[in-house]
Structure 1
Amino acid sequence: MNAILKQIVIFDDDPDILSICSYILEEMGFIVHCFIDCIDIEVKVAAILPDVILMDNWIPDEGGIKATQRLKKNESLKKIPVIYFSANSDIQQLSKQAGADNYLAKPFNLEDLQAIIEHTLNIGY
């Protein structure tokens, strides 16, 4: 995948997840931006306009469902694909409720992370 100059935003309050995902995604050629909360999420995302967003379910302040719904209701941000990721056993249902474009269950292996991002980007939103 030629991901050069593609940007990804990760919303997760777990520093280990952010560190591992950042390293992997940077190795894939992404410019990675990490946030430990979703306060002012529209401002954060609008400032970057990433190619894809990874959204944790348990992200402070309001949680991934509400944060994703806010992004999808925003006319200028709604087309940015959101990959919902969580260790919750109901990840598929939570992703649907949030209005996310795709989902990835935690824990995941690196190949799964790469495949879901490539698949999401190739859909062509």
Structure 2
Amino acid sequence: MSITPKKIVIFDDDEDILSICSYILTQQGWDVVTYTDCNDIIERVTTEKPNVILMDNWIPDAGGIIATQTLKNNDTLKHIPVIYFSANSDIQLLANHAHADTYLAKPFDLDDLTRVINKVLVVPVS
């Protein structure tokens, strides 16, 4: 039995956040794919088939709310957990409005990042 690597897609326009998250998650065995905008989101997520998605609120061009709603309204992709992350003080409200599975406030502790991802991670049963 081979173990499929866990894949996460991160949508954030902040290169520093992408760099830090990519480094940490790669060290934990994740296959990390990053995008600095949410254009063509259905095609990108369909191609990558991630286990988890991290979605920034202020992502160009449509924004995190529209991007997350687009994913959650797609029958093929709606099962993929979306973690909404933002420095906005209304993040819980924004995440609910977007229909995200959960949220993570920026700035975040790296342990919190791991905890939130593991909380929503759905590993397929082989």
> How far apart in 1 are the matches of 2:89 and 2:79?
27
Give the corresponding residue for 1:74. Answer: 74
Identity %: 61
| 2:10/2:34 contact within 8 Å kept | yes
Distance between the aligned counterparts of 2:42 and 2:69, measured in 1?
A: 11
Matching residue of 1:43: 43
Q: 1:56 corresponds to which residue? A: 56
CA distance in 2, matches of 1:87, 1:94: 11
3-state DSSP of counterpart to 2:19: helix
Matching residue's letter, 1:104: L
TM score, norm. by length of structure 2: 0.93
Q: Runs of at least 4 residues of structure 1 off by over 6 A?
A: none
SS at match of 2:114: helix
Question: C-alpha offsets along residues 52-107 of structure 1, whole Å, 9 cap, x if unaligned?
Answer: 00000000001000000000011100000000000000000000000000100000
* SS of residue in 1 equivalent to 2:42: helix
Q: Deviations over 1:3-44 (max 9, x none)?
A: 960000000000000000000000111000000000000000
**Would you say the 8 A contact 1:4–1:30 is kept in 2?**
no
Cα distance in 2 for residues equivalent to 1:116 and 1:40: 26
Using structure 1 for the length normalisation, give the TM-score.
0.94
Q: Which secondary structure state, in structure 2, belongs to the residue aligned with residue 60 of structure 1?
A: coil
Unpaired runs of 5+ residues, structure 1, are none
